[in-house]
Chain A
């Protein structure tokens, strides 16, 4: 699957940055080498971690995201392709420190 619109795509680089920071908290392994081809199962990404990456990425990009329900999710790149922007975060959220 590929992003069909540049307006709703999620840059894989941004996802990598957010995922590195988020998964580093778990300290399950070295995330410094995390890249587009890193496998989610090897990174220990379960549903909670995936939800966390999504809310953190929303915060980082000041957007609301949606995961395509039928997407293949094996690598970070897959996740990047499966996510798409559906709106902006409300002002109150974006203004928060």
Chain B
């Protein structure tokens, strides 16, 4: 087992040694909670190894979070520096403020906060690890494009630690360009990650890496994206992971079609979650006997599939018309020359907001391309939905969560 991230290669013995040192220091310090700022994949692996099965809460935080304020109010908390293997003791006494209180063992992960303040959710260690003996995988090579401090990154890393012989934490451009790089058995990332990876691969910097299973989740997946992944990376299988930080994995779909099967509504595997549609919302029951609750996802039922359109709360108000940027994005991405797009609102003195879009296209691009895309959008969208400004770009703005940004 070895781990590669932006800091370089980390051998398994090195990471285990670092984690054991952290674990010993945590035990000696005797805190009631652990806060672990994580910036890289190697740091995530260190924290997971060091804190697995601890009885106290472990709060994973990313770069833009103030740990004591946002995550927890323990009486005595310990802060891990997974890069150095050090542990420091926070000030005693309760920490005031913050939306969540971490109590009980397990790993606390913050949501990306797409529609507001990040929400902390607790995951118990058996659920995350499935009892796997980490670091003794059968030699699979995994690449993870999710940020290491979000639920998707944690979930994928826990799976990889139980199965893989090597884990790479990658950026989109690292899926092509170097013919010497080994093939990848599993690659997991957001749809935005895959779009950007395909764009980089098509620019011809080098051949795309061979991919066995392409896994994606965290944002809406449409037919255009599935086609892009297929024609660029030729994976044997594409897995769509429907999951939220709060509910965890809801469904895994690998039939090659976008969306959730409507026929599977309210059906659950033993002890597993079930999904359903209430109006235009996706609702989930986490387990048998537990009520259905809103996920925050807006959906559209189209034939025998349920398509996730985007997150509630990100609508653009165009003169009183509520426009879902995910709908605009999807339509733009169905244009044959569009490799990736994102729609967002820009202020308008007349209408409050109008829709704008950034688009990455294949082939030559210029003012005529913008006009062509505007005309195409107006044939497919209502007037308020139609982008009033389209910028051609080389790359899309991606939020720190790894998802495409819905703000300008």
* Chain A contact residues, CB within 8 Å of chain B: 21, 24-27, 47-48, 50-52, 54-56, 59, 65-67, 93, 96-97
Q: What are 29 residue pairs bridging A and B, where the CB atoms are less than 8 Å apart in the complex? A: A24-B371, A25-B378, A27-B375, A47-B319, A47-B351, A48-B318, A48-B319, A48-B354, A48-B383, A48-B384, A48-B386, A48-B388, A50-B350, A51-B348, A51-B351, A51-B354, A52-B388, A52-B389, A54-B348, A54-B350, A55-B346, A55-B354, A59-B389, A65-B349, A66-B349, A67-B350, A96-B393, A97-B391, A97-B392
Given contacts A47-B351, A51-B350, A97-B394, contact A56 B389 (CB under 8 A): yes
Query: Is A48 touching B351 in the complex (CB atoms < 8 A)?
Result: yes
B390 to chain A, nearest CB (A): 10
- CB-CB nearest in chain A for B371: A25
Q: How far is the CA of A21 from the CA of B389 in the complex (A)?
A: 12
CB distance from B331 to the nearest CB of A (A): 16
Q: How far is the CB of B321 from chain A (nearest CB, A)?
A: 10
Which residues on the A side are within 8 Å of B393 (C-beta)?
96-97
- Number of B residues whose C-beta is below 8 Å from A? 25
Note all chain A residues with C-beta closer than 8 A to B356: 55
Interface of chain B residues 309 through 353 with chain A (CB within 8 A): 318-319, 346, 348-351
B204 at the interface (CB under 8 A from A): no
The closest CB in chain B to the CB of A67 belongs to: B349
**Are A52 and B354 in touch, CB under 8 angstroms?**
yes
- From A21, A59, A66, A96, contact of B371 by CB (8 A): A21
Distance from B219 Cβ to chain A, minimum over Cβ atoms (Å): 22
- List 4 additional A-B contacts (Cβ < 8 Å) besides A25-B378, A51-B350, A55-B354: A47-B351, A48-B354, A51-B388, A54-B349
The answer to whether the Cβ of B230 comes within 8 Å of any Cβ in the partner chain is no
Residues of B in contact with A (beta carbons under 8 Å apart): 318-319, 346, 348-351, 354, 356, 358, 367, 371, 374-375, 378, 383-384, 386, 388-389, 391-394, 408
A59 to B408 alpha-carbon distance, docked (Å): 14
Instruction: Pick the residue among B358, B367, B389 that contacts A55 (CB under 8 A).
Output: B389
Instruction: Give A4 Cβ to nearest chain B Cβ, in Å.
Output: 19
A63 and B371 CA atoms in complex are apart in Å by: 22
Residue ID in chain A nearest B365 by CB atoms: A97
**CA A54 to CA B351, docked complex, whole Å:** 11
Task: List, in ascending order, chain B residues with CB within 8 A of A50's CB.
Answer: 350
Q: How far is the CA of A24 from the CA of B368 in the complex (A)?
A: 11
A50 to chain B: closest residue by CB:
B350
Residues of A within 8 A of B378 (CB): 25-26
Closest-CB distance, A55 to chain B (whole angstroms): 5
